[in-house]
Amino acid sequence: MKSNESAEDYLEAILVLKERGYMVRAVDISRHLGYKKSSVSVAMKNLIEKGLVRITSQGFIVLTESGMEIADKIYERHKILSEWFLSLGISEENALKDACRVEHYLSEESFAAIKKHIAECRKE
């Protein structure tokens, strides 16, 4: 796998598919992300080695506790940033793309400030 960003994208995809009711397989991740199944297989091998996912005896991909922590963090960032960008009048297409890019590089401090700002705006 090339980067933490790539690993985070895979973990987030597994979480999103799980929340949509899927018993996640590599082919589901491949379709969701638009990647070749062979690329997903290599990525899953790396995620297994890092202890972030495991494969059940039925062949389903499951997040480990540490994988879930990372996936939850990235998915929360994605949802909040997407919502914020949309509220600023950014098109849905660009809001989602930009949230996907920014979610990986934003510092904890900046994300906490954005999250706090959004919460305060909701109160108004």
Q: 58 with 102, same domain?
A: no
Q: 80 with 103, same domain?
A: yes
pLDDT band at 2 (very low <50, low <70, confident <90, very high): very low
Question: What is d(CA 88, CA 25) in angstroms, rounded to the nearest whole number?
Answer: 36
Q: 92 with 63, same domain?
A: no
* Cβ 114 vs Cβ 80: under 8 Å: yes
Q: 61 with 9, same domain?
A: yes
Mean pLDDT of the chain: 93
CATH number at residue 109: 1.10.60
The range of the structural domain enclosing residue 15 comes to 4-69
CATH number at residue 37: 1.10.10.10
* Count: domains in the chain: 2
Tell me the per-residue pLDDT of 67-119, one tens digit each, with 9 for 90 and over: 999 999 999 999 999 999 998 999 999 999 999 999 999 999 999 999 998 88
Lookup: tokens for 7: 């690993």
Give the pLDDT confidence score for residue 79 in this predicted structure.
Answer: 93
* 3-state SS string for 46-62: HHHHCCCEEECCCCCEE
